[in-house]
Every structure is written in C-alpha cells, then in structure tokens.
Amino acid sequence: MSYEMNVTLDLPFDQALEKVKQTLMAHHLGVVSDVDVQAIFKAKMGKEIPAYHIYGACNPKLADRVIGAEPNAGTLLPCNFVLYEKDGSTVVSFMDPVPVLGLAGNDEVSAVAAEAKEILEKVIAELKD
C-alpha cells in the first residue's frame, strides 16, 4: 500500500508553493503548518540541502469529524505534504490519508480519510494541468 501521492511541477519552489496553496484553498483546505527542513538542517547540522518543506493541510470540518469520532486520532492530523526541489523542478508529495487515518481503526475516521483522499486526488489532477 502506498503512503503518498505526488506530482512534479515544472516550476521554481516559490511558484509551485503558491500554485499548491491556491489549489488547496479552492478545495477548502488550508495550510496550517510549515516546517522548513532546509533551514533546520542548516542551523542544527550545518548541512546544505535544496529547498525542502513539510506542510500541514487541513479542512476544519473534516478534522472536526475525525476528532469527534476518535479524539486521539488528532495525532494523525493534519494531512502532511512536502515540497522539495529536484533537478530544477518542484516535487509535491501528499500523504495518503487512507492508510494513515486507518490506524485509528474507526469507521467514521476511515470514511473521512476516503473523502480527504478524493479531495487530494482532485488537487493533484488540477496541479498537473
């Protein structure tokens, strides 16, 4: 079983990020967190890597359903995605919410995961256009 879904955009990192954010917002998903791995590696280890960020995407209504059905399943939220530079392009990789939220072993949480995956598949399809 795969744990992620990805697309490579022929755009520089900053432009790819804006396109991803706009596409997510069109599907009622917002970016709620940003971990700048590139900056952390540089500051903590002196290691230089290309741009690499881990973002958290969230739809509050879906998150509410997950937390309402299984409060501890909040540890599996938000849906993470990464953006990183590779060979002059930007890779966008979304966590597949089905296997991740399936860890909760709750039917309602699994139903939300399936809905979230459908949304993310639409986002990826639009990013490919």
Residue range(s) defining the domain that contains residue 46:
4-128
Per-residue pLDDT in tens (0 to 9) along the chain, 129 residues: 689 999 999 999 999 999 999 999 999 999 999 999 999 999 999 999 999 999 999 999 999 999 999 999 999 999 999 999 999 999 999 999 999 999 999 999 999 999 999 999 999 999 998
Q: In angstroms, rounded to a whole number, what is the distance separating the alpha carbons of residues 93 and 52?
A: 11
**Total number of domains in the chain:** 1
* Predicted pLDDT at 104: 97
Task: Output the pTM of the full model.
Answer: 0.93
Please, is 37 exposed, middle or buried when counting C-beta atoms within 10 Å of its C-beta (0-12, 13-18, 19+)? middle
CB neighbour list of residue 35: distance below 8 Å, 6 or more residues apart:
53, 54, 55
CA angle 25, 101, 14 (to 5 degrees): 35
Looking at residue 19, which CATH number applies to its domain? Answer: 3.30.310.70
